[in-house]
Structure 1
Amino acid sequence: MIYPFIISLSTETFNSDHNNNKMEPVRHPYRKSLAHRGFVQGVTLTNSTTHAPWCHYFGGLRYALPPSERWRKAQKLPPSYSYGSEHNPGQCDGMVGVCPQPNFPGLSFGVGWTEDCFQCNIWVPVGEPPQDGWPVLVFIHGGFLQSGTPNSFSAGALLGETAFNAIVVMPAYRLGVFGFLHSSELEHDAATVGEPVGNQGFWDQRLALEWTRDNIALFGGNPTQVTISGYSAGAYSAFYQLSYDLHLPEAQSILKQVCIWSSSPIAQPKSPETAQTQFNQLLSALNIPETLPGPDKLARLRAIPSSNLLSAATSLEANQFRPTTDTLFIHPSLFQSLDNGTIGRRIASRHIRLLLGECRNEAALYATWFPPRNTLFALHKRLLTEYPTPLVDTLISLYCPGGRLPAGCGDWNCDAFGRIYADMQVHHMQRGLVHSLVAGGAAHLLFRYRIEYRLECAEETIPLEWGVTHGTDQYIWFWGNGALVRPDEKRVIQPALIDPWIRFVHGEADLHWGTKSYREMRTLRSDGSVEICPDGLWDEAIRVWKALRAVGEQDK
């Protein structure tokens, strides 16, 4: 099975073989002047049947220079950087480099791996931009921060067959051990060159946002109308990019709107002390003595080929490399700022709108992500790889009182794990986020949805028996995401979600969303109808949220 956050769709052909149908837009070379940045060679994607142009596409466009050393910060493009000349333009008709990452059944990115993944794919509407420029959507791909690539997504049909009329930017960024390793050794190393330590994947995303602000006008975009969106770990990333943005002076902020699709912040990220333990375990797996001086440890780590480093990292019991509370990108009081309404008040004062929601059966896919053995002990141990001990203990007491299976669950390794994991990653914690933002006065800026409908083309990567699970709606948001959408399905998703989303991205005041309270959700039903429904999960979700928030911040 190919996981939906890394579906293998080629930006070169946008092929879809579902039901023996293919969608292959014709590609015509398209050269564009980027003023002081020189020239780039992209393509114009054209409908092969109607011959109508869809959009212009630029793939593998660099947004930053690689760092001088592994685990240092990528470098902003200098003012003198040029992509190419008129007669020798930069070739941007392919795809971004893919950060080394774990393989999955049926899919391997081993060929083409590169740690120099500081590029983005861009789709630009055809025709003349409006006076202020096209609005901009920056999309962050998901994959648990361990895997994924923007090459798995296509915005061609979205721009070609709807009135989206916005530039779409999808950056790659460092993942797993390459993007989220943290230790005192790395901290001292970064200090020698005046750089931040850890969370390099987030800093990569930030550089892509800054590149967008500084350069998107060259493509006809409006740098003052940027929406950040993300799916799963990309939505998690979008929240942390928003929280970082909110701590900047308003004149330096980039984000105007945020889409948080099927994810949510959960708890204060791990402490540097916990990250150090994981770093030491990595050293042990690679037979690097802890007694060596810090620079020698890093020299050995940096000399290891990426495939060998990845193999050692994924062999660890704690093999998920996630963000660290580093005090610079992630402040130690972040979740306190949620609790006391500070973040909500800042969002309200800057009038930043959020579109956020879920799929009905998120747990069906989450249950497949490194499931534990079928025991309560194994479930507890598996959750400890994701969350601090006090949170896991609280979760077990809430979901499994007396050591019993949760109601309606038939086993520990699929049903119970899938439910708890999906509630933590999406259902309950997103409601907790809404609760906190409302306390800060931002209720009028929240647009909540629930999707209970799936397109037929989602069967390409996600079994039908999983229902409307995590990832199925990416085919809705991206108008098939390279696969064909039936005409009757288009008539459903266009008014239900796409048209309001277009108004959202364009900054229109009235989305025709329909909800009148933060406890209502715009719901796309399985029969294709749209209803404004009360949130039936709210009370239980807030009970869990409050219980977890009462535990405290530190991962002890």
Structure 2
Amino acid sequence: MKSLDQEDTVILNLTQHGYIQGVKIRAQQQQKPSPNISDNASSDVTLAHYFGGVRYALPPSQRWRMAQPLPSDYSYGTKEQPGKCNGRAVTSPQPFADDEGSSEDCFQCNIWTPSGGCPVGGWPVVFYIHGGFLQQGSPNDINPSRLLGETSLKCVIVAPVYRLAVLGFLSSRELIEDATARGEPCGNQGFWDQRTALEWTKKYAHYFGGDDSNITVMGYSAGSYSVFYQLAHDLDLSQEQSIIRQAVMFSNGPGVQPKLEFEVQKQFDALLTALKIPLDASSSEKLEQLSRVPPRELIEASVKTKYHQYRPWDDGKFMPTTLFSDIDNGSFARRMIERNVRLINGECRDEHFVYSTWYTPQNSLQSLRERLEADYPQRACDALINLYYPDGQLPGDCTDWQDAFGRVYADMQVHMLERGFVNALAQHGAGHLVYRYRIEYRVKCVTLPPEWGVAHSSDLAMWLWGDGAQLEEDEKHIVRTALIEPLTDFVNGSDMVRWGTSRGSIQEVRRLQPDGQVGIWQDAGDLWHKGLEVWNAMRKARHTPEDAARL
């Protein structure tokens, strides 16, 4: 969490689960008064109540195993000695970060609640999943206090820590054997952590004033990617097990079908080689040696291998092996319709600038290809190279191969595959459940280089109402009208969302324009057609269930 301005203790009674101690988040005195009274937050105004580092699960007995739900008699503390939840959550060990405040026992969440009286039935609940390529980040990186204290959006926000990178998304034949022997799934540990935290939220939300029947799962970037898989998992469960009522995917789409077992095995073997663990050792010996490697040494070795990005695999358990086929044949859309699950999905205009800095390839097509293979299945990489670089030459709109990588990666993560996804939903009757947006406006508190324009993540300061910084007065009116008011309608579950698009018209997009005006954009040009072309190329490159069984 970003800096706290002034703190007062808040004690929360969780009945049979004991007591926790949080803090009141107070506003800083604004320099210029606003004509809108609600904006005149002075230093003695409480914006929100905050509970940091609230445990949602117990750690597994060994790395890469399932975190354990809290027992029914778990207690956070007594009335006299409440559990201290007034600081930052423990973070998952990760690349490019020091180890201070991190632990493999990182199963905690940060929670913000409005400071006012709770309405009858409770506030809606937002389960927010942080981004960071699934390799880094934590809920400590966001601060929605001003969002709750200064806007119409009043909700309980729960943001979990989940295992990242090699600790959160490693799989292999050896790990599958170990998990199967214990009756557990293997791999996708980060996704399972998120689900465990979501189930905890469903159970505990009412203690924080939340309405557990109205839970919106929301995320940015890799958090948005996670939202897609959490939604897919939830839709595959029975109605009784279902939790998600609405989903918000900021700047990410569904991606491609994840790698199969034989592909994640290559990653596992490369990791063993980097750690000098013999490949001819027995499965139990490999796992035993891996379990003894200190987390920092494990992470540093993992990022030096060819397959340095640790992402989900097609396990058939967290996600069905038919997931992407279900999107194309309408099964996914039908389940959304049956449960009336609505979706917000959108993009920034200049997503690619940030992506062009993430593990940048060398300046050649071959290096770009190898970089893509760290993330995507081999068949998907083949299809991308053939589609984007058919003559093997640098495209004319790219300055170099690093720039080319940023653009193709942005297309895969956001621009193109989100279009293919929402088109498939609309083709099968779920278009009325989808609300699309495009951001072309940038507020002044964004710290990314100005020449990057409206790059990936630059709109977080708007969706989170400054995200710990302050919006200027003219910006507040723009952001409130363009984004926060319709988002409030959506989170509240209102039938009338102030979006402006025609019901079911999937190519109509709510667009925040460079001048701050809101317009409805008809997404029917080159971007739309290219999106469908890329989606179809990825569809043809997918492994079928029969391929998976054979390989």
TM-score category (smaller protein):
over 0.9
CA distance in 2, matches of 1:417, 1:59: 38
User: 2:63: which partner in 1?
Assistant: 70
User: 2:34: which partner in 1?
Assistant: none
| Range with bigger deviation, 317-326 or 288-297 | 288-297
The Cα of 1:484 is off from its aligned counterpart by: 1.2
The Cα of 1:433 is off from its aligned counterpart by: 0.7
The Cα of 1:12 is off from its aligned counterpart by: 4.2
User: 2:500: which partner in 1?
Assistant: 514
The 3-state SS of whatever aligns with 2:217 is strand
User: 2:107: which partner in 1?
Assistant: 118
User: 1:435: which partner in 2?
Assistant: 423
User: 1:20: which partner in 2?
Assistant: none
User: 1:420: which partner in 2?
Assistant: 408
Normalising by structure 2, we get a TM-score of 0.94
1:502 aligns with 2:482: no
1:466 aligns with 2:452: yes
CA distance in 2, matches of 1:89, 1:253: 32
User: 1:19: which partner in 2?
Assistant: none
Alignment partner for residue 249 of structure 2, among 260, 276, 283? 260
Structure 2 segments unaligned to the other structure (5+ residues): 30-41
Q: Is the 8 A contact 2:257 2:542 kept in 1?
A: no
User: 2:306: which partner in 1?
Assistant: 317
Deviations 1:127-158 (A, max 9, x none): 22111111000110111111111100001000
1:373 aligns with 2:362: yes
Please list, as runs of the form range in 1=range in 2, the aligned pairs for 1:248-327 lying within 5 A after superposition.
248-327=237-316
Kindly provide the amino acid, as one letter, of the partner of residue 86 in structure 2. D
| Range with bigger deviation, 180-189 or 146-155 | 180-189
Identity rate, percent: 47
Deviations 1:56-96 (A, max 9, x none): 10000000011111111000000000000000000000111
Q: Is the 8 A contact 2:165 2:310 kept in 1?
A: yes
Normalising by structure 1, we get a TM-score of 0.93
Structure 1 segments unaligned to the other structure (5+ residues): 1-9, 14-23
Deviations 1:418-476 (A, max 9, x none): 111111110000001101111221100000000001111112xx111111000001111
CA distance in 2, matches of 1:55, 1:408: 46
1:44 aligns with 2:24: yes
Kindly provide the amino acid, as one letter, of the partner of residue 308 in structure 1. E
CA distance in 2, matches of 1:92, 1:118: 14
CA distance in 2, matches of 1:183, 1:192: 14
User: 1:197: which partner in 2?
Assistant: 186
Q: Is the 8 A contact 1:213 1:223 kept in 2?
A: yes
The 3-state SS of whatever aligns with 1:251 is coil
The Cα of 1:306 is off from its aligned counterpart by: 0.5
User: 2:539: which partner in 1?
Assistant: 549
The Cα of 1:383 is off from its aligned counterpart by: 1.5
Q: Is the 8 A contact 1:98 1:109 kept in 2?
A: no
Structure 1 segments of 4 or more deviating over 3 A?
none
User: 1:18: which partner in 2?
Assistant: none
Kindly provide the amino acid, as one letter, of the partner of residue 31 in structure 1. I
1:165 aligns with 2:147: no
User: 2:139: which partner in 1?
Assistant: 150
Q: Is the 8 A contact 2:224 2:249 kept in 1?
A: yes
Q: Is the 8 A contact 1:12 1:94 kept in 2?
A: no
The Cα of 1:493 is off from its aligned counterpart by: 0.3
The 3-state SS of whatever aligns with 1:504 is helix
Deviations 1:393-418 (A, max 9, x none): 2222222231222232222222x111
User: 1:58: which partner in 2?
Assistant: 51
The Cα of 1:292 is off from its aligned counterpart by: 1.9
Give me the CA root mean square deviation: 1.3
1:80 aligns with 2:69: no
| Range with bigger deviation, 367-376 or 67-76 | 367-376
Kindly provide the amino acid, as one letter, of the partner of residue 467 in structure 1. G
The 3-state SS of whatever aligns with 1:190 is helix
CA distance in 1, matches of 2:227, 2:506: 20
The Cα of 1:515 is off from its aligned counterpart by: 0.8
CA distance in 2, matches of 1:172, 1:280: 28
CA distance in 1, matches of 2:165, 2:436: 30
In structure 2, do the counterparts of structure 1 residues 40 and 551 end up closer, same or farther at CA, with 3 Å as the change threshold?
Answer: same
User: 1:480: which partner in 2?
Assistant: 466
CA distance in 2, matches of 1:221, 1:89: 21
CA distance in 1, matches of 2:2, 2:106: 16
CA distance in 2, matches of 1:526, 1:63: 41
User: 1:384: which partner in 2?
Assistant: 373
The Cα of 1:245 is off from its aligned counterpart by: 0.4
Kindly provide the amino acid, as one letter, of the partner of residue 46 in structure 1. R
Kindly provide the amino acid, as one letter, of the partner of residue 225 in structure 1. N
